[in-house]
Amino acid sequence: MNSPIVITGMGIISPLGCGVKPAWENLTAGHSGVGFIDRFDTRDFPIKVAGQVPGIANHPDGFNPESVAEKKELKKLDLFTLYALAAAQEALEQANWFPKLESDQRATATIIATGIGGLPTITQAQQTLFSRGYKRLSPFTAPAFLANMAAGNLSIKYGFQGPLGCPVTACAASLQAIGDGMRLIRTGEAKVALVGGTEGCIDPLSLASFHAMKALSTEKDQPAKASRPFDAARDGFVMGEGAGLLVIETLDHAQARGVVPLATLSGYGTSADAYHITSGREDGSGAAAAITAALKMAALSSTDINYINAHATSTSVGDRAEIASLRNVFGADLHEIPISSTKSATGHLLGAAGGIESIFTALAVMHDVLPPTINLDNVDDAMENLDFVPTTARPHTVRHALCNGFGFGGVNASVLLSKA
């Protein structure tokens, strides 16, 4: 039971493209996946930009829903489930995990997080209810919008009969899904776990709701510049969408079936701020507790960390609180540790953020390359002495890396990834 937990498969659907390889190449090339919203008319709407997953019709690595579900089934599934199906397909193929024995199926957990679930299905159903009456609602409305349906549909499709779960813990959800999967493997309740998160809520209601909080960027002219973590000119986060899923198992289990591990999940920690529904503690103590717990599980010290993929959403309050938490843990050494925010390129994927960002962090470990923080022209005055890997990716030896995810309600989660 002490065998290290490793990643053997990864799958991404993102604003930077669909598939781990193109998403990573676009990220490290400094490209942005943020653009003008084309899902609905924004002429009289305050939010103009988002990190939309590109479609196959206008992007070589775009999303094709018919690749994961038959046309007649598409109307029964919300977008967040479709994204999860696509990311899972890639991850499971890489891991070569399609168990046929019932014992293996029962040993496979499916833990897929989301922050909002099927909100577009809910808003569309509400419009149907008001305009056409209750008799016109589809019987698949509730099964489409329930938050656990990404996990449920994946379990059904692949016959995974082990533990099934769905953390719905805002922007920490994906990392908690990874942590839950690690625990299930450690307790022996599962031998393999499909974990991560998915989100598909670029919808007028969700955008208007976050806008009412003054949390979103109101950029109207240069969408690719809208997401700018740590920059003095940042004006809020950019809504993103997509899915990031991983197949995890012990090293012993992977080797026994002849699969090469990609990276090691060496530590996990989670905590609650018990402070405020939307803002983290200014001193960062709650988030620091999650990071410290992850270090303890991994039996690592703060000086072992070579890279930090920050939660950093591009809000002034959030970015500063996270840096405070990092100062709590790393102290005077923080200026020597490269920190970047891949949200600068993707926007903030809410419940899917940690899934995609943990994969990006694993790739940094695998390839010894630091993804950049794009759009960082003038660092916030309170952070001038820190290395945010501005604008351009660069080579850097990464043995151990930290990935953070913090969410509304005061939830904090951190994962440590190490070389396999």
Residues 237 and 366 in one domain: no
Residues 190 and 210 in one domain: yes
Domain boundary among 263, 288, 306: 263
Residue 336 belongs to domain spanning: 266-419
Residues 309 and 202 in one domain: no
Q: Give yes or no for a contact between 402 and 294, defined as CB atoms under 8 angstroms apart.
A: yes
pLDDT, residue 1, reads: 61
Residues 401 and 309 in one domain: yes
Residues 316 and 358 in one domain: yes
Sign of the CA dihedral with 251 first, then 359, 91, and 167 last? positive
Residues 239 and 293 in one domain: no
Residues with catalytic roles: 171, 311, 348
* 3-class SS string, 116-167: CCCHHHHHHHHHHHHHHCHHHCCCCHHHHHCCCHHHHHHHHHHCCCCCEECC
pLDDT, residue 58, reads: 87
**Whats the size of the chain, residue-wise?**
420
Residues 224 and 352 in one domain: no
Q: What is the CATH number of the domain that holds 359?
A: 3.40.47.10
Q: Give yes or no for a contact between 373 and 37, defined as CB atoms under 8 angstroms apart.
A: no
For residues 303 and 25, give the distance between their C-alpha atoms in angstroms, rounded to a whole number. 29
Residues 286 and 259 in one domain: no
Task: List Cβ neighbours of 29 (8 Å cut-off, separation of 6 or more).
Answer: 393
pLDDT, residue 7, reads: 99
Residues 145 and 247 in one domain: yes
Q: Give yes or no for a contact between 9 and 92, defined as CB atoms under 8 angstroms apart.
A: yes
CB burial readout 37-62, b (16+ within 10 A) else e: beeeebeeeebbbbbbbbeeeeeebe
pTM over 0.95: yes
Residues 275 and 211 in one domain: no
Work out the burial of residue 187: count CB atoms within 10 Å of its CB; fewer than 13 is exposed, 13-18 middle, 19 or more buried: exposed
Per-residue pLDDT of the chain (420 residues; tens, 9 = 90+): 689 999 999 999 999 999 999 999 999 999 999 999 999 999 999 999 999 999 999 899 999 999 999 999 999 999 999 999 999 999 999 999 999 999 999 999 999 999 999 999 999 999 999 999 999 999 999 999 999 999 999 999 999 999 999 999 999 999 999 999 999 999 999 999 999 999 999 999 999 999 999 999 999 999 999 999 999 999 999 999 999 999 999 999 999 999 999 999 999 999 999 999 999 998 999 999 999 999 999 999 999 999 999 999 999 999 999 999 999 999 999 999 999 999 999 999 999 999 999 999 999 999 999 999 999 999 999 899 999 999 999 999 999 999 999 999 999 999 999 999
How many CA atoms does the CB half-sphere of 388 hold within 13 Å? Answer: 28
pLDDT, residue 250, reads: 98
Domain boundary among 263, 296, 328: 263
Q: How many domains does the chain have?
A: 2
Sign of the CA dihedral with 195 first, then 193, 363, and 31 last? negative
**What tokens appear for 90 in the block?**
């890639």
380: Cα separation from own chain's centroid: 25
Domain boundary among 223, 244, 263: 263
Residues 132 and 182 in one domain: yes
Residues 317 and 207 in one domain: no
Work out the burial of residue 242: count CB atoms within 10 Å of its CB; fewer than 13 is exposed, 13-18 middle, 19 or more buried: buried
155: Cα separation from own chain's centroid: 20
Smallest CA-to-CA distance from 395 within 361, 416, 371 is with 371
pLDDT, residue 2, reads: 87
